Amino acid sequence: MNNHDLKTVQDQLIEDIEIQKHETISSEELFKAIVYRVEYLLEKDPSLLFSYLYRLDIEESQLKLALRGDGIKNGIVLISELIMERQLKRVETKKKYQQKPIDGWNW
């Protein structure tokens, strides 16, 4: 993942699940931030977490598998992986279908 894609994913997650913003961040640090946020929400406000997961379009079948995993810690990591994968797919899709600005439509 290049730095621009990483920054885009971070910006999306700041908005989507309210992770903390960092000026510079590696993919490992971003993943740790997701894990921290998922763990916090699972403990303090699970309904908000599931609302976020629904908005992120995380597949229910994958989520059920993650929650059936070996212990709560493993479930948190698996959910975090699902979030990261989904956000990366969103970035790829936006790049693939990006349209050039239409001439004469400047506001």
Q: Where are the domains of the chain?
A: 3-90
Condensed to tens digits (0 to 9), the pLDDT of residues 90-106 reads 888 888 887 777 777 76
Give yes or no for a contact between 63 and 82, defined as CB atoms under 8 angstroms apart.
Answer: yes
**How far is 4 from 8, CA to CA, in rounded Å?**
6
pLDDT, one tens digit per residue, over 48-66 is: 999 999 999 999 999 888 8
Report, in angstroms and rounded to the nearest whole number, the Rg of the chain calculated over CA atoms.
16
Output the DSSP codes for 22-36: -SS--HHHHHHHHHH
Highest mean pLDDT out of 18-22, 33-37, 95-99, 101-105: 33-37
Taking residues 1-30, what's their average pLDDT? 79
Average pLDDT over residues 61-89: 87
Q: Could you identify the residue written with the tokens 């763990």?
A: 39
Cβ(75)–Cβ(33) below 8 Å: no
